[in-house]
Structure 1
Amino acid sequence: MALSVVGVVLCALVSVVSSHGYLSSPASRNSAWRFGFGTQTNYNDNELYCGGREVMHSQNQGRCGVCGDNWRLSEPRPHERGGVYGKGVITAQYRSGQVIPITIRISANHGGWFEFRLCNNNNPRARDSQQCLNKQLLTFADGSRGTRYNLSRSLRGDVTVHVQLPPRLSCTNCVLQWTWVVGNTWGICSDGRGKVGCGPQETFVNCADIQISPKRGFQKPTTTFNKNKNNFLYPRVSLVASVWFAGLVATIERDLEEDVLQTVVFLQRESIPDQDLFIRGGISESLRPPGCSSIVESDPCAIDMNTNLLGTIQHYEKYNAWRVGDTRLDWSGAQPGQDVYQGIPAEGTPLVWTTNNVLSPGYQELNT
């Protein structure tokens, strides 16, 4: 009889310890290696539980790393942007407003609930922020508009839910956060009763890097692109009379006619030996639709964007002067804090338009 009791106790302990799971689709930073993304291997990818229940709630006062690491670890923590596993590898691509399936692989189900959050942070060097994630608590696409999925204890293996992406959100690098608060520990409920699933619980958190493209036709300009007025696409005096420039213009013309929304990249080309041509983009002031303003920070027509650091040597000083502080593709005005080059202040976005859809012609990796 004593041996039987011991056996039951040991089984219960094993059951609690094996309550693990991970975000498998879109593949999370901790599990992307399993799905052919070439990321750092993590054999403990189903154990991102904030250091464990006791560590999280007794030592860290209920705090957890943004992506499931022990809160006490120095930043960036291993699974956060800039950490060992947080390399910004995109594991899924969606459209604005799309209903997307999300799959969680559960090794042992002890109930509880899921939540999903989204942070639109296109700066690859910016650290993950729970404050940013809390701005977009995603709703489920089951008609309830609820934000919390109660996990039935009868489910095993892959658990798939469907959530609604925001209709007016697009990004080259969004962070999707999955939170699973398990319901397997006895505690005190809000009404004072004691019950399994109440009080501080074991908590799992994973992050995935995803891309959301604008929905086709969203924010269509209310004006046409006039060849005679667009000095960028059709300069009166062309600096580069070449097949390359003509091809670039043809690509932009086609995308504009097909209503493909654009993001921006910076193009540098040597026009003559030792002289670089820096193509300045943005959108012609004459083409600004009604309701759009040159106040970049608050302009609803300006588009969130980020630009990559090309280099730090003197050769790139001109480019970096325009790049610093430029986070919005604007119609004309500069943003507060944009840099200067040899006393000349930046005036806006110094970039060429290109598609942000990796499947479309003209896509360039520089803008990701």
Structure 2
Amino acid sequence: MEKKNVFFWRIKSLTLNLVLVLAIKLPGCTGQGRMIEPPMRSSMWRYGFNTPNNYQDDFLHCGGYQRYLANNESCGTCGDPYDGVRHNEAGGQYATGIVGRYFSLSDTHIPVTIELTGSYGGKFEFRLCPHNSVNEPVSQMCLDRYPLLIEEGVSQGTPYSFEPKISGTYNLTVQIPDGMFCTQCVLQWKYRAVALVLNNVTFMTMMMTVVVVGVMTFLTVFIIMIHS
């Protein structure tokens, strides 16, 4: 089916693009990563899309650990500083709206590929929000209502999280909730990495969150349209 005819069908379009939300920095230890399938907003330029370049796309850290603490342990939903410019949210520099992937309604799962360039244990989590606005930033409250089941997490005994062991590439599958229809859905990936810093009795935890954003629209035959 040609793209120019796509709106003659009933479309369930799910826009996905990913951005790091949070990375708490530890001395000599940082967790880094990006979603490469579907490519996140800050990384789309690496995969042939005409989008702005972000050469630090695997390390968006909410402005750094001290700024994160100063903001009452808060961060922008898409990895930007809580009290700063939201480059990765709707209306921001990397939120271009370019279509990247297509899925039919019969595809009840979303395949994702995560590349960890720096890993310190921890876990992945995914959430989905029926946001329904391409112009408004998504809220964390909405995302938290819909945690997603991860098939590979089920095999680990933790259906709603997955534990990476080392740096590298992870191919995962998340389940779309039954009855999830929206004009804009937002999919969020969180990576909470954990590290110990042994300085007498010092213990520190590092956290990073990555977000995928998506759009759904209805017409005659459902197609999930994944884009940024």
TM-score tier, shorter chain, comes to: 0.7 to 0.9
Q: What is the percent sequence identity of the aligned residues?
A: 30
**Aligned residue pair count:** 194
1:88 counterpart (77, 97, 103): 97
The verdict on how the C-alpha distance between 1:120 and 1:82 changes in structure 2, with shifts beyond 3 A counting, is same
Question: How many angstroms apart in 2 are the aligned matches of 1:137 and 1:93?
Answer: 22
| 1:22 and 1:106 in contact (8 A); partners too | yes
1:210 counterpart (210, 214, 225): 214
Q: Which has the higher contact order (CA 8 A, sep 6+)?
A: 2
Task: Give the corresponding residue for 2:163.
Answer: 150
The residue identity in structure 2 corresponding to 1:37 is F
Question: 1:304-315 residue pairs with structure 2 within 5 A?
Answer: none
Task: Give the corresponding residue for 1:279.
Answer: none
Secondary structure at 1:107 match in 2: strand
Question: How many angstroms apart in 1 are the aligned matches of 2:158 and 2:112?
Answer: 16
Give how far 1:61 is off.
1.5
Give how far 1:139 is off.
1.1
Question: 1:61-210 residue pairs with structure 2 within 5 A?
Answer: 61-74=72-85, 77-96=86-105, 98-142=108-152, 143=154, 144=157, 146-152=159-165, 155-186=166-197, 201-210=205-214
The verdict on how the C-alpha distance between 1:90 and 1:177 changes in structure 2, with shifts beyond 3 A counting, is farther
Secondary structure at 1:42 match in 2: coil
Task: Give the corresponding residue for 1:253.
Answer: none
What are the Cα deviations for residues 287-308 of structure 1, in whole angstroms up to 9, with x where unaligned?
A: xxxxxxxxxxxxxxxxxxxxxx
Question: How many angstroms apart in 2 are the aligned matches of 1:28 and 1:83?
Answer: 14
Secondary structure at 2:214 match in 1: strand
Question: How many angstroms apart in 2 are the aligned matches of 1:206 and 1:89?
Answer: 19
The verdict on how the C-alpha distance between 1:126 and 1:184 changes in structure 2, with shifts beyond 3 A counting, is same
Secondary structure at 1:91 match in 2: strand
Structure 1 length-normalised TM: 0.47
Secondary structure at 2:56 match in 1: coil
Structure 2 length-normalised TM: 0.73
Structure 1 unpaired stretches of 5+: 1-11, 188-193, 214-261, 264-353, 360-368
Is 1:27 aligned with 2:31?
Answer: no
| 1:101 and 1:163 in contact (8 A); partners too | yes
Question: How many angstroms apart in 2 are the aligned matches of 1:100 and 1:357?
Answer: 13
Query: What's the C-alpha RMSD, in Å, of the aligned pairs?
Result: 2.8
Question: How many angstroms apart in 2 are the aligned matches of 1:358 and 1:136?
Answer: 18
